[in-house]
Amino acid sequence: MPFRWNPELQSQDITPESWFRERRRLLQGAAVVGAGVLLGVEPFGEVTAKSEPLSDVRPGVVTLDEAQTPFKDATGYCNFYELGSGKEDPSRHGGKLVTDPWSVLIDGEVARPGSVSLEELLKPHPLEERVYRMRCVEAWSMVIPWVGFPLGDLLKRFEPTPKARYVAFETLHDPKQLPGQSRNVLQWPYREGLRLDEAMHPLTILAVGMYGQRLPNQNGAPLRLVVPWKYGFKGIKSIVRITLTEQQPVTSWNLQAPEEYGFFANVNPEVPHPRWEQSSERRLGEFRRRETLPFNGYAAQVASLYAGMDLARYF
Ligand code: MTE
């Protein structure tokens, strides 16, 4: 089983060698992309990822030993409709998004609501690197080394009230920085949501980086959600507001096309999208298709959250 839990790790296990590993990985990534071009795999757009290394990152307590998606693919082939609807648009048009200073409002059913700067928000949260499988609804997949911390740790600090049952997330709404918001592709701002138990699950993280660096704008800088057992659209980018709610929140794709995109969006090879199969996927940078696994391979960790639920109805 390539998936490994390592609850033994302590904060003193912070590894400077991770930088060494990172360099090696990036070099390997570059080699794979080079080979891909020779083999005729589509080269992706210009990548506007400035390199801002993150320090004091400890190895994740949860991680995966699988070949990682080349950095250039993960940062050059993106979905971020506020930056355009083509896969290469976000890497080209992310330059206007100002991510420093940044603050996040945490409100709703919490005892201590408030707006906090990103630095304040990060202070008590040691950063971990966690390599996760990701599966997009459009049938491509990736393996990404995220850097972040468990969302549950943050929520606990704001003291959810007994009424809190869901968590709603919102992306920045500012068409000057996110020009796609001048077009009615979706109802802006982009919104997502989780049930509180999903949000508190230790696999659910808020990411501030990937591949050992701060998140590039196209991947959702400075703060995005990562829920590895769900389709990629749940991974809302550039979050400015987190609201705990009693009722299930409205989510962007569910609002747009409710028969195509459910609230839960758990990866499920047995439930096809109305317009395509969901039983297989193609890793970015590879030709052959792979079988899609229930809950994206994380069933042992999360299937119990949905015990007794009809997953075809609650898709
Ligand atoms: N977040 C915002 N704000 N806007 C978006 O358009 N797209 C979603 C999700 N988060 C999106 C978003 C979709 S459809 C996917 S598949 C993932 O981001 C893609 O993340 P990636 O580009 O980092 O791979």
CA 234 / ligand 1 centre spacing (Å): 8
What are 130-178's pLDDT values in tens digits? 999 999 999 999 999 999 999 999 999 999 999 999 999 999 999 999 9
- Name the CATH code of domain 44-306 (choices 3.90.420.10, 2.60.120.260, 3.40.50.1950, 1.10.10.10): 3.90.420.10
- Residue 171 near ligand 1, beta carbon < 6 Å: yes
What is the predicted pLDDT for the residue at 7?
36
What are 298-315's pLDDT values in tens digits? 999 999 999 999 999 999
- Judged against a pLDDT cut of 90, whether residue 44 lies above it is answered with no
- Judged against a pLDDT cut of 50, whether residue 123 lies above it is answered with yes
The residue to mutate among 143, 233, 253, 296, having the most atoms of ligand 1 within 8 angstroms of its beta carbon, is: 233
pTM: predicted TM-score of the whole model, two decimal places: 0.87
CA 104 / ligand 1 centre spacing (Å): 19
Q: Whose CA is nearest to atom 24 of ligand 1?
A: 78
What is the predicted pLDDT for the residue at 61?
82
Of all atoms in ligand 1, which is nearest to the CA of residue 83? 6
Q: Whose CA is nearest to atom 12 of ligand 1?
A: 236
What are 191-237's pLDDT values in tens digits? 999 999 999 999 999 999 999 999 999 999 999 999 999 999 999 99
Label each residue of the chain as H, E or C.
CCEEECCCCCHHHCCCHHHHHHHHHHHHHHHHHHHHHHHCCCCCCCCCCCCCECCCEEECCEEECCCCCCHHHHHHCCCCHHHCCCCCHHHHHHHHCCCCCCEEEEEECECCCEEEEHHHHHCCCCEEEEEEEEECCCCEEEEEEEEEEEHHHHHHHCCECCCCCEEEEEECCCCCCCHHHHCCCCCCCCEEEEEHHHHHCCCCEEEEEECCEECCHHHCCCCEEECCCEEHHHCCCCEEEEEEECCCCCCHHHHHCCCCCCCCCECCCCCCECCECCCEEEECCCCCEEECCHHHHCHHHHHHHHCCCCCCCCC
- Residue 207 near ligand 1, beta carbon < 6 Å: no
What is the predicted pLDDT for the residue at 50?
65
CA 149 / ligand 1 centre spacing (Å): 19
- Residue 231 near ligand 1, beta carbon < 6 Å: no
